[in-house]
Amino acid sequence: MTADPEAPLPRIAVLADDLIWATRLADGVRRAGGEPVPARSTADFDLALQGAAGCIVDLTARAYDSLAALRVARGAGVPAVAVGQHDDADLRRAAREAGAVRVYAYRVLFEHGDRELDAWIAGLRTGLRAGAEEEEAR
């Protein structure tokens, strides 16, 4: 993705309590041109959502309720994607119902995450630019 070097990086809240996945997700956000804001708890996530252009939620956490986190993000107007086990269709369906615009299986995000996150963050950047242009026109 070719980003405008003058444009601010979109802040992406990354809610994951597993250190390996938290690191992988944050690194993927950076590679896609975003600024990851890590969160490992509900309180951290609430803070990370402030000013966030989007968020990523790990569904299989033990330190927080992932579906509640997706509902909070939706209520805050922050687009969310989620990541979870490929064989847990019920949880993945519940995540979409709670507000995730897309739910990735761990394997898909691990193998194709750069492409997937790049496309998602590029869309968020477009929305940020449009919002800034509307603000300037006022």
Q: If pLDDT is split at 50, 70 and 90, which confidence band does 135 have?
A: very low
pLDDT band of residue 55 (cuts 50, 70, 90) is: very high
Taking the model in full, what pTM does it have? 0.87
Q: What are the backbone dihedrals phi and psi of residue 56, each rounded to the nearest 5 degrees, phi first?
A: -125, 130
pLDDT reported for residue 113: 79
Give the residue-averaged pLDDT of 57-73: 96
pLDDT of residue 1: 44
Q: Of all helices (H) and strands (E), which one includes residue 80?
A: strand 80-84
Q: How far is CA 44 from the centre of its chain?
A: 14
pLDDT tops 70 at residue 45: yes
- Helices 19-31 and 106-137, packing angle to 10 deg: 50
> With bands split at pLDDT 50, 70 and 90, how would you rate the model's confidence at 51?
very high
Higher-pLDDT residue of 6, 64: 64
Q: What is the pLDDT of residue 8?
A: 80
Q: What is the pLDDT of residues 3-22, one digit of tens each?
A: 555 668 899 999 999 999 99
Contact status, residue 34 vs residue 12, Cβ threshold 8 Å: yes
How confident is the model over 97-108, as a mean pLDDT? 94
